[in-house]
Amino acid sequence: MSTLEPERGTGTGTLVEPTPQVSHGDGDHERFAHYVQKDKIMASALDGTPVVALCGKVWVPGRDPKKYPVCPLCKEIYDSMGPGGDKDKGGKDK
């Protein structure tokens, strides 16, 4: 008794690489201000490229971060980095 099976290895496939989800609108993602390197924010303002926050959020900044509370995860990561005050890397000086 035989069973019919499709031949393996004869098809073609397409490699699909994931793309980051970039936010441009309003919603839950707009609830917090995030920590990002200052030079990355400037580059984003000039050419519209997305930035990546310490917490991993990817978006194109366009709102005043002073209007929102600081992202708790960004703050936790930043605080765990210890003192450094590296202003050139976008860090705050404590």
Q: Are 38 and 50 in contact (CB under 8 A)?
A: no
Q: How far apart are CA 70 and CA 49, in angstroms?
A: 22
What confidence tens digit (pLDDT) does each residue in 15-33 have? 565 555 554 444 555 689 9
Neighbour tally for 43: CB within 10 Å: 13
Q: Which residue has the higher pLDDT, 86 or 59?
A: 59
Query: CA 37, 91, 51 angle in degrees (round to 5)?
Result: 15
Predicted local confidence at residue 53, as pLDDT: 94
Predicted local confidence at residue 35, as pLDDT: 93
Type of residue at 72: P
Cβ-proximal residues to 57 (8 Å cutoff; 6+ apart), any chain: 29, 34, 71
Q: For the chain, give me the number of helices (H) and strands (E)?
A: 2, 2
What confidence tens digit (pLDDT) does each residue in 53-85 have? 999 999 998 888 898 999 999 999 999 987 765
Residue count of the chain, please give it. 94
